[in-house]
Structure 1
């Protein structure tokens, strides 16, 4: 394995190595892409990137030659080449003066003089250690705790940047990342599954958990069935999964999930639906996002229909991005919360919302809005794929839309009652512009079913808005 001094491999890379690449005999060379970060932000439009380099090679079968540019490396044509989709992060900063480094002249930058700093153990200043997976702005060295790193060489780059190079064993780096990369790697995920009336769908979800690449998770099943509907399923999967099967004598989706929060032991909490399924790398990618972005409190994936592979319910986008309360994304079963990074007093579900409550819907958006208002940072990526039947479709009738849209109107009214001026955006968008525009498009296309669908959406939202009265239940 080859590592440049300015590269950081995410934990996902090492996990994939253990799971697949280490035992694969189908490749000699793994080409690994690189992405650029400047001052903690990924450069989305860096020309030529991502660039692929041969980073993982089989010693006995691979030879290197200079490539056509005269700079860089290429492998012999006889080598069997595979390509990874997990990128290394190349970290750099741009500054006129780099701490500890001064360029003697513009023409003699290659002979820059540096006051090299050592940053080898946990006693180093915090600003000399890795902040998450990115170098602090004034750090001059990649920092790893002893005895993980062994000093190999030190040199001054052409731009006057001090670089310390270390040879690091992969397994030691994995162990060190839990201490130096913000502690996200190795976080336990608590999955709170509230269920009522479904059985085979629950079994399908459990099968998707068995296929997860990331295994540090617990499953808390809040069982609202009175007839033992899923008992046999729990017994069947119990030996293979860490299941905590909790039977309750109440109903209500928000109340059940809130009950599960009190039982959760993990640093990350999520609320999968009892009719959804996870792609095999969902938890792996969630933890990797929290590891990559230490300021994040919320990671949101996309909902896909398993049959069509198109976006399903909720608010989805093909573009990964940070978002605010004015452009909320996802739906409650695609949201993952790093509890320690949240305003803990706001991490609860309002029992007035959701299936089995006064307003049948909106519980996820109501909590998400509160958390974002309290300052939580949220990031959405469509690469986290959660499969759920597409039930928000005009061909399936209007009753579901009418029922769920009341919850949307009710949570808008809740925040309007609190004189939250940002909610005026949702009043304009969700209660006026969006449904009216979609009705107009349905009229122009001559689609009566779609027209009725969006009409009932408009009716439901306004009905919930005028009907909302808080019961005081959390």
Structure 2
């Protein structure tokens, strides 16, 4: 099996080097790498050139159109039997491709997704963000499960792959920015292809480097869910409303604390229990008091930013019927 690894890149030359270095360590070597520079002002061409003797690698530059269409650009030029796409802020374990190849020999999949976790080299904030996006105590943990909120597994594009046949039938990404991976995986399911999680195909995903960036990203995820709801109404499930419920609960706690009442005490107790669960779960996973404290912040951002984003666009697009140009 020959893999084509496709990496969209936009103004992140510092990240691509670490990703490519991890690909040079792969124990399974039947693959090519296509880096698609999506109109970057700070390109990585010189860095890519430095890997010419270590990888079967190709560099392309195109006008900016977003990561979805950048991946399509790579699909059109790839030679592989199977297309894998990573985000530029990922580090790939040395046996990733070998484990994936072995899995396909036992159970072939038309499309797959893999989980992510924090690398030991990540900063405390990055580890906390990784916790918020993968913990069972937040809705972020759904993405690493065999079945997602809709009862089917929907892989995320930071660690995802499709067969050449899937690309030819689906014609790749129809959306280019936020939600493009969900839209593609929904269409893959609709066409009857076999799609599932490959648990052993994990990557180390840096995500955002600050809580401000993380808030902005998750807020856009909440907005994206409304866009997907308008395209595919049956994909909105109860679990997508949990961040909204949590955000409403925080507002309720604030209001109750303005008054001295038994309800305020009970609400504060429930919130404290949740905070302690996050703290000790993260402490067990990360073995760090600092990361455990930061995980509380990351988890609250993961829920409230999504909740605010969803409510914002639901009110504008569904209730008020406003036509919004979604450039997240």
Partner of 2:119: 306
Partner of 1:247: 61
Offset, 1:463: 3.7
Looking at structure 1, the residues matched to 83 and 50 of structure 2 have their Cα atoms a distance apart, in angstroms, of 24
Which string of whole-angstrom CA distances, capped at 9 and with x for unpartnered residues, describes residues 285-344 of structure 1?
A: 1122121113x212221111113596674755799747795243442121111223x373
- CA change 1:328–1:437 in 2 (3 A) is farther
Offset, 1:452: 6.2
Q: Alignment partner of 1:366: what SS?
A: helix
Looking at structure 1, the residues matched to 143 and 225 of structure 2 have their Cα atoms a distance apart, in angstroms, of 24
Matched, 1:339 2:149: no
Q: Alignment partner of 2:16: what SS?
A: helix
Matched, 1:445 2:271: yes
- Structure 2 residues without counterparts, runs of 5 or longer: 121-126, 135-139, 254-269, 276-295
- CA change 1:469–1:218 in 2 (3 A) is farther
Tell whether the 8 Å contact from 1:313 to 1:392 is kept in structure 2 after alignment: no
Offset, 1:205: 0.5
- CA change 1:451–1:304 in 2 (3 A) is closer
Looking at structure 2, the residues matched to 402 and 287 of structure 1 have their Cα atoms a distance apart, in angstroms, of 36
TM-score by length of 2: 0.70
Tell whether the 8 Å contact from 1:300 to 1:379 is kept in structure 2 after alignment: yes
Partner of 1:389: 206
Larger Rg computed on CA atoms: 1
Matched, 1:201 2:27: no
Looking at structure 2, the residues matched to 236 and 263 of structure 1 have their Cα atoms a distance apart, in angstroms, of 21
- CA change 1:322–1:234 in 2 (3 A) is same
Matched, 1:401 2:218: yes
Which string of whole-angstrom CA distances, capped at 9 and with x for unpartnered residues, describes residues 425-474 of structure 1?
A: x24331x2343147638953257966565333123124445549699xxx
Tell whether the 8 Å contact from 1:332 to 1:364 is kept in structure 2 after alignment: yes
Which string of whole-angstrom CA distances, capped at 9 and with x for unpartnered residues, describes residues 74-93 of structure 1?
A: xxxxxxxxxxxxxxxxxxxx
Looking at structure 2, the residues matched to 323 and 397 of structure 1 have their Cα atoms a distance apart, in angstroms, of 22
Residues matched between the structures, number: 268
Offset, 1:251: 3.2
- CA change 1:317–1:311 in 2 (3 A) is farther
- Structure 1 residues without counterparts, runs of 5 or longer: 1-186, 355-360, 417-421
TM-score by length of 1: 0.50
Offset, 1:398: 2.6
